Amino acid sequence: MNPPYTPEDEAGLARSLGIDYVHIPVDWSNAAGQLCSFLATDLVLIVPFLRALPRVAPEFRTGLIVYTIVMVYSGLLAIYYLFIHRPTRMFGS
């Protein structure tokens, strides 16, 4: 049987991977990279989600619609902050 998991285990794992959130500077460039990856994920997944809508079983339709709405919202938010909002846009600020 495995020993119980403790919060110290998580801290040790984070240190061994070199993850120290306290020392990561708060900067738009750090957030922009994550926002780009969210946008890429949204763009990759939106087509299969939309194609599945007509064929999904009725008991799963509500969940798929909610996921699709969240994905569209996430993508629009990423597009706004990466390309439209002047203080945060990546190009031509």
Q: What is the DSSP string of 8-34?
A: HHHHHHHHHTT--GGGS---HHHHHHH
DSSP 3: P
Report if residue 41 sits inside a domain: yes
- Two tokens at 29? 């460039």
Indicate whether 78 belongs to any domain: yes
Q: What is the pLDDT of residues 68-92, one digit of tens each?
A: 999 999 999 999 999 998 888 877 6
Number of domains making up the chain: 1
Q: pLDDT > 90: what percent of the chain?
A: 46
* Residue 52 confidence (pLDDT) above 80: yes
- Closest-CA residue to 35 (of 78, 71, 66, 77): 78
Q: In which domain, by residue range, is 58 found?
A: 25-93
